[in-house]
């Protein structure tokens, strides 16, 4: 599991934000487009791509894209 691929998947969930602004250290809540709907699409994309169920609390307790990735990795084992 590569973080670059996850960052790309995460960025694809945003319709109006340029994917180039996303890095592992991006504070996703600082992006104007961030919303609970985008959070749900991220959760669904993770299920589709990795077969791992993230919870809302996983998103709430994360600050960066990398924080979510670390939670994904811990569940994928």
pLDDT 10s digit of each residue in the chain, 77 long?
899 999 999 999 999 999 999 999 999 999 999 999 999 999 999 999 999 999 999 999 999 999 999 999 999 87
DSSP state of 23: -
Domains of the chain plus CATH, in order, are 3-76 (1.10.1200.10)
Note the pLDDT of residue 10: 98
Contact between 43 and 68 under an 8 Å Cβ cutoff? The reply is: no
The model carries a pTM of 0.94
Q: What are the C-alpha distances in Å from 6 to residues 13, 52?
A: 11, 13
Note the pLDDT of residue 77: 72
Contact between 31 and 42 under an 8 Å Cβ cutoff? The reply is: no
């Amino acid at each position: 599991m590569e973080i670059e691929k996850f960052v790309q998947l995460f960025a694809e969930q945003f319709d109006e934000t340029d994917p180039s602004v996303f890095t592992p250290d991006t504070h996703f809540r600082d992006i104007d487009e961030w919303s609970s709907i985008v959070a749900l699409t991220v959760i669904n994309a993770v299920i589709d791509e990795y077969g791992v169920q993230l919870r809302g609390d996983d998103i709430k307790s994360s600050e960066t894209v990398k924080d979510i990735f670390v939670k994904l990795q811990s569940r994928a084992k």
